[in-house]
Structure formats: C-alpha cells, structure tokens
C-alpha cells in the first residue's frame, strides 16, 4: 500500500468494504474445499486464504472460515516470497509462487502455500495467497507425521519459494518434481488445482472490487481496518489488570527421547501492551515437536482470537503484542529441526496462553481443551497391489467454562475441521469401525464439567498387514482444569489382539495389525471449571443417567452426590 491514502473513509463505507473483502476470502476458501481431493482439505478444511500487504506481507483480509492457525502464519509465508523477490528481482504479472518450507514462513511440509502478486497499472498492489494440507509429500511415513524423525529430510520433501507459474506459464518441470515425490501424486495434483481455482477466483473478485471503488480507497480501507483491529485489541488488553502471569504445561515427549518437554509462558500486561515470553520453555528437541518462530507467533494469534473473539482477523491485532521465543527453545526452531508434529506443540502453547489469561481475568477462565490432534495413518496394499493411506485427525472434549459445560467431541482450537464420515472412510479404505462413541469419564470434574472425548475402534479388513502410525499427545499430562476444576482423562491408544500400547505414550510407527485386528483410540476430554462440590446434584445425576460419568467416578469425583 505504497500510494498516498485519500482522506479517511467514513465508517459506513468502511463497513461495506470490510464485508466485500471478507466475502472474497470466504469464497476462495469455499472454492478450495469443494474442489480439493484429500479429505484433510475437503472435509477437515485444513486450508486458508487471504489478501496481504504488498510491502510488509501483513494480513489485510482473512476468510472467516479458514483454519485459524494459518491466519497468523500466512503473513510469514508472503514475507518469505517478498524477501526472495527483493533478493532476486524478476517479479512479473501472472507469477505464482509455490513452497512448503517450514523454516521460511511455513508450518510443516504438508502445508503447501501458493502466493500470487496482484498488479495494478503495472505496479504491485498486494498479494493473494492460499495454503492447504496435502496428503503426502514423501518421507519415511505415509502422511508425513513421522514421530521418530530427527531431521526435516526424514519428514518429506522441502520446497523453497519457486515460481510454479511464470508470467502465466505453468512450469511443467515443477509439476513433475512434485509428482515424483509423493505416494499419492493424483491427490496432490487435484489439491494444487483446487488452490489455483481459489487464487483465480480471488484475483478476479479483488480486481472487480478495485475497479468499483478505486485503488486508493481500498488501500485506505486496508489501513483503517488494521488500525481498528489494533484499537480493539489494545482496549481488550487495557481492560486486564497489569501484572505478570505465568503458566506452564508439558508435552509427553518428542517421539525420539522419552523426556517431558516444558512449554512455559510468562505473560505480562502493561497498560495496553501484552508480552508473551516463552524463554523458560525446553530447548529444541531431537524429535518432530519443534516449531518455527512463524508458527509460534501464529499460535499466539489463534489463542488471542479465541480469548477476544470480537477483534477482527488482521495484522493489526498483533501490533500491541510482543512474542519472545528464543531460537534455543523448541518454539523458535531453525532448519533442519524436525517439525511434523507442530500441531501438538501449538496446542500446548495455546493452552498455556488460555491458562495465563485465566489468571489475569478469572471471570473468563476456560479449562484446557483435549489438546491433541492424534494424527493416525493406517496404510497398506489393496488386493490389486495399489497403495492406500487412510489419514485422519480425531476429536475430543472442550474445557468447562464460566458459562457452560465443555462441548463433547469437538475439534481443536487451531482448526474448524469437521471429521470425515465413517461411511466415507469405509467406502474408501479397507477398514470397518467397530466403535464411534463418546468416552465416559473423560471430561474433568467441575461445577461445569469438561466435555467428554471419544472412542474410535477400527478393524482392519485387508487380507495383508495394515501398517499403523500415530502421532498424538496428552498420554502423560492431562488437560488441566481451572478455578478448582479437575483434569480431563489421558489420551490412550492400543493395537492388535494383545492390546499393545506405545512405549512413547501416544506416538508409534513401524507396527502393523492383521486382518480382523483393531486399533483403538480413546481421546481426552476437556478440563473442568470450578469446584466439583458446587456442581448441582441434578446435573451429576443426569451425567450418570446419560453415561457421561460412571457411578464409580461420580462417587470419587463428586463425593457420591447425584446417586
């Protein structure tokens, strides 16, 4: 936005333009969901689109349905393209960059970003970008969630920003390299086309809007919307009592070394400024639980958006916020530290932000959600010899809060993903679910109980071996309660007739089951809110009647009230 801004837009025009711009991003999201191939995008909506500043890469507009974690991360992606162009030059109208580099504005290798410049009168005006989670991009483990990786190269293939489309010309070489490096090249090709569909549409709509209102007015709207988000964010922070609030939580292990990893936060409020200091966290780890600084900032943004849902989604939100995560910690990892399990680490990070904010404003304290993605890959060979990979994330309970009990079987705060239907999975893969149920006694006790997690039990139907890989968490450190509420249950995974359990709690790779054998995943519920002694007797009785809480657990956690 390097041209002189006209006079401030009036509040009404600004509101109109805000709606038009959000609609553009929403429509890009919808286009990709509907045309994507892999269910992680199509059903789980692991994707995001937006419009970004020409010079800074700041997020100007974001869809309302995009994956929350990408909302903060995308501006880092655009920035890395900006850096590349600054260094090498040669940006042309009709270019589109592609990359997945986690250390240069990415998250993990599966997340492919496409970044396209929008030119006006021969000059760069802004960027549009798309990110989506592709099913497989090489590496040791189908689906790339390799819990034993010790360097990025074992996780899959890394692309720095490259021109996929050069002045309107698709670069077949790059398509060929992409196809050669995946177990499921058709799926990736389909998703890539879906992302291009979304960029084409976004570009078209944005140009129409610029033609309608003029470039200068749209530029002014971008600036004012960010200012407004900043003002709202500052007002929210200023409303909190000044002070330093600390909160720590732990990851089970990094999948390689069986040692707990500390995620530590010192949150400081000073007037209308907020500092999130993670310096006390564990050092970078050997296994794939590291995250880059871009991902850390994005996770902070997600937590703040949940805590202050009325603040609009753009870069203005982060102006009054300082994030400190030294590169020596696992929250500021640099290449080639493995990062495939980034989802687990950011969930814990978001959890400690909720925890610290709960100390700052007890009236809105919310207990921890289940906090693990449980990336489960089942794979094998069909009778005709072709490879199949069923990859999915699973749900759990949300935390109790001042208003309500936690929601049963929800998605994680980093996503708005819906789970693929059992019937779609069974139609696509040689598996049969034998249980798809709520998990009793998994929600933390409290005046407002945590929502319960789930039990998924899956039987292998394929005649050969079915390979099993899981990257999960919360096997040793349960989702915490707040204001006197108890913790939710631990994550639990077993496989085979003997009911084997992973030596590293919820991470396993390199095992398999025979036809007729099962894997069984029991996910955590959320933590409880408030003293269990204050839970009304009728609510406990109802929990027992409906089986959310067993009579035995009620006797223990609620001192037998409700029986």
Total number of residues that touch other proteins (CB under 8 A): 86
Q: Considering only residues 542 through 561, tell me which ones interact with other proteins, judged by CB under 8 A.
A: 545-548
**Among the residue ranges 30-38, 248-256, 503-511, 553-561, the one whose residues contact other proteins (CB under 8 A):** 30-38
Dump the DSSP string for 359-394: HH-GGG--PPP-----EEEEEEE-TTS-EEEEEE--
> Considering only CA atoms, which of 455, 457, 371 is closest in space to residue 406?
371
Non-local (6+) Cβ contacts of 180 within 8 A are: none
The yes or no reply on residue 33 touching other proteins (CB under 8 A) is yes
Is 300 within 8 Å of 276 (Cβ atoms)? yes
> Considering only CA atoms, which of 26, 28, 78 is closest in space to residue 52?
78
Q: Considering only residues 190 through 209, tell me which ones interact with other proteins, judged by CB under 8 A.
A: 190, 193-194, 196-197, 200-201, 205, 208
**Interacting residue with other proteins among 231, 286, 511, 539 (CB under 8 A):** 231
The yes or no reply on residue 215 touching other proteins (CB under 8 A) is no
Q: Considering only residues 253 through 312, tell me which ones interact with other proteins, judged by CB under 8 A.
A: 305-306, 309-310
Q: Write down the least CB distance from residue 468 to other proteins, Å.
A: 20
Residue closer to other proteins, measured from CB, 140 or 197:
197
Site string for other proteins, 39-68 (x = CB under 8 A): x--xx--------------------xx--x
The span from the CA of 209 to the CA of 93, in Å, is 18
Residue closer to other proteins, measured from CB, 187 or 290:
187
Residue closer to other proteins, measured from CB, 84 or 535:
535
Residue closer to other proteins, measured from CB, 128 or 325:
128
The yes or no reply on residue 175 touching other proteins (CB under 8 A) is no
Residue closer to other proteins, measured from CB, 10 or 88:
10
**Among the residue ranges 32-40, 99-107, 500-508, 514-522, the one whose residues contact other proteins (CB under 8 A):** 32-40
Is 443 within 8 Å of 525 (Cβ atoms)? yes
Helix (H, G, I), strand (E, B) or coil at 1: coil
Q: Write down the least CB distance from residue 249 to other proteins, Å.
A: 17
Q: Considering only residues 482 through 511, tell me which ones interact with other proteins, judged by CB under 8 A.
A: none
- Other CB atoms within a 10 A radius of the CB of residue 87 amount to 7
Q: Write down the least CB distance from residue 193 to other proteins, Å.
A: 5
Site string for other proteins, 376-405 (x = CB under 8 A): ------------------xx--xx-xxxxx
Non-local (6+) Cβ contacts of 248 within 8 A are: 262, 263, 264, 265, 280, 352
> Considering only CA atoms, which of 400, 388, 420, 425 is closest in space to residue 486?
400
Q: What is the DSSP letter of 334?
A: -
The span from the CA of 50 to the CA of 63, in Å, is 6
Q: Considering only residues 149 through 168, tell me which ones interact with other proteins, judged by CB under 8 A.
A: none
The span from the CA of 541 to the CA of 519, in Å, is 33
Q: Write down the least CB distance from residue 269 to other proteins, Å.
A: 18
Half-sphere CA count of 469, side-chain side, radius 13 A? 22
């Amino acid at each position: 936005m390097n041209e002189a801004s006209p006079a401030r837009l009036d509040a009404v025009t600004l509101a109109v333009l805000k709606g038009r711009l959000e609609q553009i991003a929403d429509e890009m999201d919808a286009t990709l969901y509907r045309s994507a191939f892999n269910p992680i995008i199509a059903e789980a909506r692991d994707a995001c689109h937006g419009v970004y500043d020409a010079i800074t890469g700041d997020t100007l507009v974001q869809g309302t349905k995009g994956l929350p974690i990408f909302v903060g991360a995308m501006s880092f992606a655009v920035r890395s393209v900006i850096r590349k162009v600054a260094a090498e030059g040669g940006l042309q109208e009709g270019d589109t960059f592609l990359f997945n580099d986690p250390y240069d504005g990415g998250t993990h290798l599966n997340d492919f970003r496409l970044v396209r410049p929008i030119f006006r009168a021969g000059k760069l005006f802004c960027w549009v970008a798309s990110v989506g989670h592709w099913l497989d991009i090489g590496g040791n483990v189908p689906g790339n969630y390799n819990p034993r990786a010790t360097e990025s190269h074992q996780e899959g293939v890394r692309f720095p920003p490259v021109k996929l489309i050069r002045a309107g010309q698709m670069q077949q070489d790059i398509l060929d390299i992409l196809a050669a490096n995946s177990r499921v090249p058709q799926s990736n090709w389909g998703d890539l086309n879906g992302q291009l569909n979304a960029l084409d549409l976004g570009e078209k709509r944005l140009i129409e809007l610029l033609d309608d209102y003029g470039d200068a007015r749209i530029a002014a709207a971008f600036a004012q919307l960010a200012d407004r988000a900043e003002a709202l964010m500052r007002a929210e922070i200023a409303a909190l009592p000044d002070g330093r609030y600390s909160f720590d939580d732990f990851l089970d292990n990094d999948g390689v070394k069986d040692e707990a990893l500390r995620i530590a936060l010192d949150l400081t409020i000073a007037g209308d400024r907020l500092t999130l200091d993670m310096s006390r966290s564990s050092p970078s780890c050997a296994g794939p639980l590291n995250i880059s600084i871009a991902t850390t900032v994005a996770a902070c943004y997600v937590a703040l958006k949940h805590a202050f849902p009325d603040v609009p989604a753009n870069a203005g939100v982060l102006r009054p916020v300082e994030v400190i995560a030294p590169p020596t910690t696992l929250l500021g990892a640099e290449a080639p530290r493995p990062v495939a399990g980034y989802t687990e680490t950011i969930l814990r990070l978001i959890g400690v932000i909720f925890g610290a904010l709960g100390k700052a404003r007890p009236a809105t304290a919310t207990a921890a959600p289940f906090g693990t993605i449980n990336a489960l890959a089942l794979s094998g060979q069909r009778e005709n010899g072709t490879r199949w990979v069923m990859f999915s994330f699973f749900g759990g309970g949300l935390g109790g809060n001042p208003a309500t009990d936690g929601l049963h079987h929800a998605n994680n705060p980093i996503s708005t993903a819906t789970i693929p239907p059992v019937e779609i999975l069974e139609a696509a893969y040689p598996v049969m679910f034998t249980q798809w149920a709520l998990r009793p006694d998994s929600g933390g006790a409290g005046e407002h109980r945590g929502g319960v997690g789930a039990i998924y039990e899956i039987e292998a139907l394929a005649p050969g071996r079915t390979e099993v890989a899981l990257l999960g968490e919360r096997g040793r450190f349960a989702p915490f309660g707040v204001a006197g509420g108890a913790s939710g249950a631990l994550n639990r995974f077993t496989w085979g007739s003997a009911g084997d359990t992973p030596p590293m709690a919820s991470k396993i790779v390199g095992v398999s089951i025979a036809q007729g054998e099962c894997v069984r995943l029991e996910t955590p519920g959320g933590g409880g809110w408030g003293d269990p002694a204050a839970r009304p007797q009728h609510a406990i009785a109802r929990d027992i009647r409906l089986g959310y809480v067993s009579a035995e657990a009620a006797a223990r956690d609620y001192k037998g009230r409700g029986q």
